[in-house]
Structure 1
């Protein structure tokens, strides 16, 4: 009987470690390692406490993940930007299981969504599909931010990079933040990028995302995220409280737009329109299967996938679809 129980436990552990699903087991202490001293010094320099709330922004086209932290002024300030080694799919939201799409939208990550035993060193679950995505019929699960340089719908950093982010998130959640917001965008929502992608079928969706982006850009505070009319709505108070049916028309709002935010949105719209009308908007990029930050792409070209796997993963996890990664459109400085 004892042998049978031991065999079952080993089998269960093997299944657990082969997935990205959260668990309460701890195997080697990596999930409890402290925030690196250099990063804590940077927090101190920027008037931030390790226990202060955080916010994360992800940009596919730029292959970058930003960690923001609330400083003593009460606003969020940029702590550090991490290059992403791999994300999969194309620009646009994830809509179904198996489409290899990394998601786009607004998500909230609580302590139970941190995974100390990820297949890819450490990870946290974005919570896809969120309430709006579920109502729209979108499917998929276990969409993560994790280590290594391999993606099938996730956002992959190096093991070292995700270890830092994990520690910063853990301390913020332990400090009293119930959950931290993750904003996942197709690109930095500049007038140039909006003009470049103005004919994309996802443009209306991206215009909704930009409203949340603009709130954070102007105020450096976390936007309140709601959903109704089948889309995201930000910083609204509604008669009767939050809409129960996110696909139904939005109920009357008790407040309007912040004038400063509305002014930025309007100015960006005019600038994007001018770029389009004058023919100076750049053409949009097409992705074979996701992207890779230029710093990693240079290493992949120069040293090959085996060497990059060693650099990005403690267990040398293979690079996912390296040919597609090399086809990632080059940044202007490459």
Structure 2
């Protein structure tokens, strides 16, 4: 009704317009305004109202309640390429971060390893801080936030790239792409954490879960040293369950470090200042890394032995295959004769085992025959058997037994 009154009053101000035209103008104007109002409030499959302002899903709300989390408490995100998983961790009222939700990454591009240059379509690996300025409510990919690549570590190594995002639409060219429904919740959780006072949230992007098993499996990679450095930050979070403070110096990452000289900052390309790590954290991380390294060495040796056994087996298999497939003809006695092209190939006739037994009649197709290596043994066995069984096969009469003569005449058949 308010819309109708507004449009009607606006139309009636123009007295020079005929009354019938005024009524038509009122109706058209009201329809346009109503359509605009409904479009602004219309729901899609993921919620009602502007997408960047929509609340998180009921399932996420229930999980936050179960884990004793405030709606606006800080968050942290971990990404694992090989497993295609994105984890959202959120601070509980205990002060520790707990895993709130695990999302399956819809698509990511490139391969395991860091991004090096613009256009390589490689999704980044490393530690990134996301501020409100990096949030994009008007993304063409539903909703998005920029990872802030390159970070100080990346720039210190001369790496280039831009617009590396976590976004929706399930389409990736160097980004981590989620479904629209997933990014709706992820974006909402980040937005609410900023409302609660979090100035930035951390994204930790890894090639895989940094376990001894995975490190041993990828021990031959050119990126192993880089991944060991990332694993230190991974271990800091695993031990403390709070996002580590990330610094950069001497072109490397440094975690939970505090400078000992006031006013001397960390510079990614500069020499590291004197610093210390909380002794409790440093001790716990060192203990974890010793245990992990022992397991890594054991698994690496086991994988090496397995690969060596596999290689030996493949070599033996290849030699055996060569003997059966190509080497046999050189080691056996082979007797062959040319094939008469006039003879039908569908009815070949095999030669005898020796050259003397080869058929001489023209027009007979002849196949190659392989003679046994020890004919004497076969002959001896055959001779012995023939003496015991004088009524042997019709095709192979015994050479030692002549024809059997008898005067008995069989009775005539009825």
Q: TM-score range by the shorter chain?
A: 0.7 to 0.9
Alignment equivalent of 1:236, drawn from 240, 254, 257? 257
Question: Match for residue 147 of structure 1?
Answer: 168
Q: Deviations over 1:278-331 (max 9, x none)?
A: 227999xxxxxxxxxxxxxxxxxxxxxxxxxxxxxxxxxxxxxxxxxxxxxxxx
Q: Which runs of 5+ in 2 are unaligned?
A: 1-48, 308-414
1:84 partnered with 2:105:
yes
Question: Match for residue 133 of structure 2?
Answer: 112
SS of equivalent residue, structure 2 residue 259 = coil
CA distance in 1, matches of 2:305, 2:79: 23
Change (3 A) 1:134 1:177: same
Alignment equivalent of 2:273, drawn from 228, 234, 251? 251
Question: Match for residue 223 of structure 2?
Answer: 202
Is contact 1:226-1:242 (8 Å) kept? no
Alignment equivalent of 1:63, drawn from 84, 98, 111? 84
Is contact 2:248-2:266 (8 Å) kept? no
SS of equivalent residue, structure 2 residue 286 = helix
CA distance in 2, matches of 1:281, 1:109: 44
Question: Match for residue 296 of structure 2?
Answer: 272
Normalising by structure 2, what TM-score? 0.60
1:136 partnered with 2:157:
yes
Structure with larger RCO (C-alpha < 8 A, sep 6+): 1
1:178 partnered with 2:227:
no
Alignment equivalent of 1:213, drawn from 234, 251, 256? 234
Q: Considering fraction of residues, name the structure with more helix.
A: 2
Alignment equivalent of 1:188, drawn from 209, 214, 231? 209
Normalising by structure 1, what TM-score? 0.74
Number of residues of Structure 1 aligned to a counterpart in Structure 2: 256
CA distance in 2, matches of 1:282, 1:117: 52
Question: Match for residue 185 of structure 2?
Answer: 164
Change (3 A) 1:215 1:97: same
Q: CA deviation at 1:67?
A: 0.3
Larger radius of gyration: 2
Is contact 2:266-2:273 (8 Å) kept? no
1:260 partnered with 2:281:
no
Give the stretch that moved more between structures: 93-102 or 29-38.
29-38
CA distance in 1, matches of 2:69, 2:249: 35
CA distance in 2, matches of 1:254, 1:99: 37
Change (3 A) 1:282 1:102: farther
Change (3 A) 1:39 1:233: same
SS of equivalent residue, structure 1 residue 254 = strand
SS of equivalent residue, structure 1 residue 279 = helix
Q: CA deviation at 1:238?
A: 2.0
Q: Deviations over 1:56-98 (max 9, x none)?
A: 0000000000000000110000000000010000111111000
